[in-house]
Structure 1
């Protein structure tokens, strides 16, 4: 079958009549029905082909190039039909269908041939064929139309392809039917107002005072009951219906607040979620303003919650919306803070009023608790320094509450305190006597409960509890006799080597064993021995009566971490009372400092990516790794030098950071390096090259929206011992891609796209042109001409004049001569002769005169040309302005003249 097909040299090249030869939908269905009837009982499949990213390809490279791709693909399918006798068809757009044997090897062969054809047309966008196949034998009662539909459903299935194709299953059809049914039900639910909202309180974890609530949407399905948002919100957002739902919820919340206000109930602000679809399609600040005016509410009662992800991906749009809300008196909370984007940049670049700590940050286990607590403490401290209220969401356990309170994060939202509840339950909660009006969280910070005196028995119980907590949170707790060296271990963490040695022992022997068994890091051993010398310790403690503390690295659970060993003397510690408590604990500060030093050595300071030093180290270590393959992606930033020269290094740095963040977004599981000023490397293990190309295409499309461009080279290797060679090949491919880019676009076009100053100049030119055309419609052409150099620049340049200019070599006299000889009536040409004499022009305009000539064009219209000085002094003294106006022009110019 297909593996026997020998393609000639012309197959794959554009065939002008290929699309005319291939069967269209109705003809193909008839041919398919007849073919399957003739081959009944044989194992055949109907296959549907879809070209991924075809619309993007067409937009970037034009319909002609896209049409050539379709012609080549069609020619290859016709060759397949000729060789096998099976029908092929074209359903329009980029959709093809064919019939082929239900044999995996033959199917992979045709996929490979067709993909090769598509690859020949790859430029900046990688297009892959999406294959869906429907086995005829598995659906004996299906007609040709049904088999094609099943194959098309399989081709767009979101699940991972097996062997380069999706094989149709009834589950695919069921999913599609359910999605369409759900969409129909959602449209009906919006119409019938089946949606409502629950309220989840936000409270002060110490006083349990409610400081606000969040409105969470719920769907009261007539038969299924309450449907979770996760089942319907993604579909609403993808279809844009979320704007209808959000507006309904916003107004419902305002109605409820108005009801509470009218009844004299306690009021707290209610926050509502605002999606990126809302901001793109609606004037959110104005809608909020209209709602509070309609329901007679203060703006501070209605808060907007915008996710950190939205801010990261749509920073400019979001900032405009936030500023609009602020002007209307509304506050904005950043939701999901710390969920994975550049959170600190978000705080720096946006003016939010409060932040909500993402629940993932407080979801810790024993392994990551130490670092997790430090991160939370740092974020809370930063928020306080910025005078930003901070709320932790997703609080579910008493341990999380205690940790947050210790970190001075008092505001919480989560199941531990309150679950989302119907509005009626929230009303009852607010009506309780101890629920005061705490709607200003900054004011609530000043209302913490004062200490209440406790009894002696309670003090003893608290002391015991405090000791237990203290003992639980140290690695080792012991008593040391500073005179004799007696060492009594009270508690030793099981993660420490020798944890079973918790009986009495000699302190000197204990310290010697730590060094000998390399429990102490070898680099710190000498320092440790000096610091724990018993005579030295005794002298220091007896004389100062102050604790002594030392830092070193110790083996904990098989790895070295920084710890602090403290010697706490008893009261009046002396030779008669020589006891001291020895506390060994993990030193988070020293460990953090060590991590920061390691990070700064291996990371780029501007972008935070891995740097060239670590890249070169990884190239060596990865050669002995257990990875099966590695895709090497080499990226060069186009235009960084021009941006630095024209806009300054700050703009260049912003560009590099944007590209770095895009790489993190689209290569989340890869290792990303900045190895030079404008060069990046991405190493992706155990992934097929086509998946990397897809990520590159998405990254390119994302950056082009921001007017940035990159050149890319990709090389895959299955032999990691030759990783250096793969990197060199990827770099060479990147150089070729860069040359191809400049060949297609040119340096001048790139500069126009990147240089903001030039863009501003072009905008001002368009504004000036529009101003002249509206106020002076008779002005047809306006030029600035340098009499010294014979060069001109256009202010208003119609198409016909531009064509003359393009053929003139840049000389304005040549342009004027051709204009006179071709477009001016012969009788008027002599009167324009002195315009070609620059000495005459200069003598007139520099003395304050205006050179003016009236003439007729060959089409009968009367024109006037006026020449005036551009400037009478300075560097522009040789420049003049030439204005060609139509004396017959109406007050309002025709639309086609405006468009010129």
Structure 2
């Protein structure tokens, strides 16, 4: 249609000179106000040859329209003239791509010439626009498919000896961006991708790129190594992942290596498309290289896509239920809803075939809602018929989580059928939590507030399981028994699974293990305290009718025979109301449960007395390995005791000395009793008794016996510690006739002497006031060293205060002598100390 309209936007009285010139030149004037202008422009863009804005208002009031005009590519060929009295704003207007600016008052001849020039420009840019639109995509502003193919063909022809690859990529579930956030946001994503491809052109010397259609892009790039292409795929993925939208912008990238640069571009492009369809549904695998075998799989996928809508409309998707069993009662406790496609041509199609395709193209949202609705309808029917009712869990796909209306949709369903939210349980795979943790945390919190039970499926298969469990609250963990089969180190998978069950109990979470297929697996799960199971050992997924028959019969399964030698169950180990817990709570003696696997000894639980004995803080000790602060020889004794109990399932006893870095050493007596086996580990109950005082007494007796045996004719040795030489001289002269005297000028030197000669020293005479380390600090240090802790000490000091004397006597000194010395008195008091030690040792010998 001919362009013959001049759009006149005005808020003032129209000067006849404007209208006269428009009419005289044979154009049709169309007057609109600024508020009507966008809508009128949208519907008449192909007929408008010129836009004139006649206004005396500030530019700020015109900014929305000017922004629209400046950013829309379809308006580029229509010139815009401003006529206004605000000549100071000329520069601001020109920044919006305004073609001309005419300041009032208007001169007729000037206005006529400028309008003529603008219209000529309009006709010229129309030709440019047609050429532009033939080569470029109007949304992204980069080459369209046709021109990309042409440019790429020339690139390959010009460089026949270089290696090239064609990349094809689209955005997974892109149509949901338009559905959830609007088409404008979808266009913004397209422009964002195009901008990154333009940046790549600055990096790679041989590079072509284009926007094929919708969310589909392609580019051709030269390369030297395969790793360069992988790095480029990762770069593209990471660039798009940063787009500011609460939706995962994840490309699915297919790569076709060009073996012959003369190959038809269409063939190379189609190969890249096939490769992209073979990308793993795993969120970590976002690219794939083309292989010849992909053609057959492409035909299968196309069949699925071609028939999916008809299948949903004709109820070809059928609900199957797989029962969940309670191991404690051996009865059904619920079910999981699974889907099968009953195709009239191919029969039952496995979900492994169609679910990944639906997740990619977004159709999974439609299928999920269908399943949710069918399950709610089934639960309502069971209630109306008075049947036994069990909760059914349904899957929520990763795609569903990005739907802002997800919570409202699910709530509307349970309200529609008048159901309790507890009857419809919601399962999410662990990998879904990695897409947008904050968004999913918000969704899950909202659903739990509404009363729904949340299950984390495939727990333990991701790379951040514990981190997610810390941040996102769920009610039930689901673990697949295949988790064990993937472990290369024997026994490690079982130990990890046992630890997960244990951790879940501490967090008040239920655990369901699925994929259970053998009696051995059932016994293993019982042994680690697992309560709920699901798998072919109990029942395969069955039709709704078969499930109704099963629950009507109140069927139970016959469990494998338990281990009759085990008197305490796995549940007792964790149950806070069990007999074992009562025993723990009421015992004043330190008790703990240990886990022994033949190599490691690890604490599972301990009572309050146990915590007090070792100075631990409540649950912080549960995972503490206590043997990290004992000697190698003591470790061997402990290990032998545990190994003996694990082997004969009886009792054992041993002793060890625990030497923490901070604090005094403690001697502990352990009595061990076998409890049961859990997974690959033995659970052993241990009573612990602090025998430190007894051990110190035994050491003193031993020291005394040794001294008697080796020093019958040798004078006893006194170590004098004093920084004053005059004091040391006086004391040496007093005792040198009856004793062997050693001297130390400070406490540190004394410790060195004691380290080297502790078995020879019978008494220490200690001054309190010394530099660096005073006498009290020396006493505290001495008490931490078992080899010298029992050597008697006499303090010599000028401080005669009762408080000081009481403090030191409490620290175990034998006497307290105040300076200045009276030799006779000093000799008698030393003699008294030796006599008291001799008496004490004789008495101890009689007791022994």
What's the TM-score bracket when you normalise by the shorter of the two chains?
0.3 to 0.5
Pick the structure with greater CA Rg. 2
Q: TM-score, normalised by structure 2?
A: 0.41
Q: TM-score, normalised by structure 1?
A: 0.39
